[in-house]
Structure formats: structure tokens, C-alpha cells
Amino acid sequence: MESHDLAGLVMHGRSMPIRVAGGLAEFDATRSYLHDRDRAAHDQSTPSLLLSLRAILVEHAITGTGDRVGDAESVWRELMRRIPGMEQVFAGGLAADVGSAVSTRVILDHLKEKDGFRLDDVIGRPTQPQARTWLAAARASSLSELSSSRIRGRFAPDLDLLRRALPQLFESPEDAAALRDDPLVAHVLSPIFGNRVARWLSNLLAVDLTATLRVDPPTEAVFAVLDGAPERQDVGGWLWERFTVTNVDDWSYASLVLEWDSVQRGSTDLCDPRAMAERSVSEERLSRLALQRAASTRLQPRARTRAFDPSFYVPHALDLLVTGDIDGASRIFEGLVELSPGDASGWNNLGFCQLPLDTQGALTSLRRAEALSRAPSQLSAANQTLALHLLGRDDEAVEVGTAALLAENAVDVGSSWVWMHPTNDDADLQLGDVPRVADYLTPLLGHIQSNDCGAARRGQ
């Protein structure tokens, strides 16, 4: 096990090799997206297009806006050119991911009403009133007699969904389990709700593409009577996993079998041969994995690797920062937070990388990370203190930094990389390594309170 510390969060796990982050690996869907995400749709790889569409729809579900529907329509048109069976791919793979994002937004809306949760900080913008909301649809769904009886009799809330969507906010079993007794949360985390969301979006796709790409909610009456049973879409699920799930071990049994069949036949009517050629999986590996699954005596849920884990990319980002490529390091985490907008560590790392060149953007990202974290971090507060100072907001900077030093429950991560305040007013911020956050924050606060700094306000 290795530990990397960047911008306030210590991230444990296997390192992502530099050769992978740099583009030398055989196939990596996330890497493909990070590389192609800013290109025109026709110049992107098929994995990048699918993950681009996912990122936009997840953003729409979380923020409650349809700001990027034009981008989504461009991506959709290109995908339809490459994958004539794109409607099946949507129903078999993408709809479930968008449904998880809808569940996340419903729970956050519920927590805002119930406990005053800082929703605006989490979604990065002020919430806007809407005529229809997913929260209202979820309440109607939870109160339907069919839903209540099914959940009581058959289903337990999927707390793993919550931990995947908001890993730092509900990272401990105790945090997530505290929501188990809430009837609305229990329903939203049940398969019935997720299946209804997926069914609604798949049905909507047949009549209104734009509304689907906006992730428009249904009326309460319509949503409450939708079938909550799963709708099998094995072929669509296979194509989705084929292009977006890097680790073949994470594929479903149906996808393994369909991929093996495609290898045998050499083609599929649902996808252009040139797109299919963007990835190949050895027949031997497919056969071995399929046999292992078929021989299993018990059906066990597959524990997928955390595909968009920011810690995999920290070593490469740090190398870029050391060599002065601050924009390149920022772009890594910009792409990752698009794929996983509820991950505090991704926003935290993005804010750290943005600090020298886009101080206001860095402050927004750091505050979003803080809102998505259960435990306050001294280093995150230190980064916010520096950002506020560079923006000329010294009173706020002193308040944030002093509170971090006095907080009894703040997490001190130990040795950490930080941006050192320049001694010369015209100099740039420099990377430095400090043994303890307090050893960095205390002199920074002293400098701010001296009211003698020409570097302040230059980040505006």
C-alpha cells in the first residue's frame, strides 16, 4: 500500500503508474476521456464520447440544470453514427449511472430540507426553483403502496450507492447507516427507485431526446406508477461495459458471453466495425472469466474497482506541478470531477492545482470539497486561507485559518505538499513540503495579520 498526500487528503491505495497516466497502457477508458474530452465529438474516441455523455447527464442530474444539452446533443449524434443501437446502450448502461446521480441529488435535497445541508456548495452554484423536481417524484414513489410493500418485504437500502456517489461524505458504515431509518432515503436507495428512473429516462428517450439529455423529472403521478422491476438490456449493457469499464473482471457474465460471441462472429450489427476495433479482448481471457463465473455456486455481487479514483492520478499530477505544468495538472482533475462530481478528493486536488493560476476557481473547488467531506481538514482550510489572502479577503482568511487551528476534530494529515507564499511580492507560488499543517498555517496567518503583502489580490 502507498499513500499520497495532495491538497489535504491522504489517499491510500495502489499508485497509477506514470506510463498509464501518460498514455502508454493498452486500454484505459478514463485515460481516453481525459485525453479527448476537449476535442470535437467527431475527433474523440468512442470510450471518450460515452464517458462525455455520462459526465454531462450526471452533471445535469446533480445540478438540476440542462446547461450543456447542446454539447450532449452533439455527442449523441456522433455516437448514433458509430453505434446504431445507442438507444439500447443508453437503457442497458448509461441510464443506471444517471439514475444513481438522480438518487444522489434527491438525498441531498432531502438533507437540505431536513438538516440545512449546504447544497449550493456541493453543486457549485445556487439552486434554482423548478416546477418539477426529482425530490417530489421520489416522495410520490415512496408513498405508493406497491413501493412500500416491496421494500419492506424484499429490499434493503443500497448504502454502497451512497458511498460510491459521495465517498467522503458517507465514508464510514456508521455515517451511511444513520440514513437507513429514513423512509425516503431507504426508498431512493432501493432498486425500485433506480429502476423507475432508468425506465422513465429510457421511455422519454423514445419521444424527446432533448428532455432526456436534460434529465427532466416526470410528474409525480406518472413516476409513482412506473414499473420498478429491472428491465434487462444485456446487449446494450455489453456495449456500455465494453467501452467504459476498463477492467474486464468487472464485466457482467452476459457481457463476457456477448463479447466472446462477437469475437467468434467478427462483427455486430449494433456497432460500427471501426468503433469495435478501438478495443480488443483476448478470446482466452474471455473464456476463462466466463467459465469462472459459470462455475460459481453462488451469485455474488461484483465489487467494481473505483474507476475514477483521483488517487490513481496524483503521482502524475504531482510530476506536472513540479515541472511547472500547472494547467496540465489541473486538467487531469477537471476531467475526473466531471466523471465523479461527488468525490471530495477530486475537487480538493483540483482546487490545489488551480490555486496559482485561478485563485477564485480554486476557492470554489476547495469549498465544494469541504462540503462533500464529513471531517474537516486542516490542510484544506490552509489552502482556503491562502486563496482568500491572494484574493484580498484577509478577514475571511484569518477566520478560516484560525478556526482550523482551534478545531478539535480537524484532520491533520501530517507531511504534506503545500503552496508556499512567496517572500517576494512579484514571485510565483512555489511547491513545498511541510511536516505538519500547523507549521505552515501559523506563520501564514501571522503574515496575513501583518497587513504587509503586495501579493494579495493578484489572484482576482
How far apart are the C-alpha atoms of 342 and 170, rounded to whole Å? 11
| pLDDT for residue 132 | 87
| pLDDT for residue 356 | 93
**Per-residue pLDDT reduced to its tens digit, 34-84:** 999 999 999 999 999 999 999 999 999 999 888 999 999 999 999 999 999
Q: Give every CB contact of residue 159 below 8 A, 6+ residues apart in sequence.
A: 170, 173, 176, 177, 179, 180, 189
Q: Where exactly does CATH 1.25.40.10 map onto the chain?
A: 310-449
| pLDDT for residue 181 | 75
Quick one: cell of 370?
Answer: 469541504
For the chain, list residues with pLDDT below 70: 1-25, 145-157, 171-173, 175-177, 296-308, 408-413, 425-426, 454-460
| pLDDT for residue 156 | 61
Say if residues 41 and 23 touch (Cβ distance below 8 Å). no
How far apart are the C-alpha atoms of 327 and 348, rounded to whole Å? 15
How far apart are the C-alpha atoms of 448 and 436, rounded to whole Å? 19
Closest by alpha carbon to 369, among 395, 387, 343? 343
How far apart are the C-alpha atoms of 194 and 203, rounded to whole Å? 14
CATH of domain 310-449: 1.25.40.10
**Per-residue pLDDT reduced to its tens digit, 306-317:** 556 777 788 888
How far apart are the C-alpha atoms of 38 and 163, rounded to whole Å? 29
Q: Give every CB contact of residue 113 below 8 A, 6+ residues apart in sequence.
A: none
Read off the pTM. 0.82
| pLDDT for residue 157 | 65
| pLDDT for residue 437 | 87
| pLDDT for residue 228 | 87
| pLDDT for residue 296 | 63
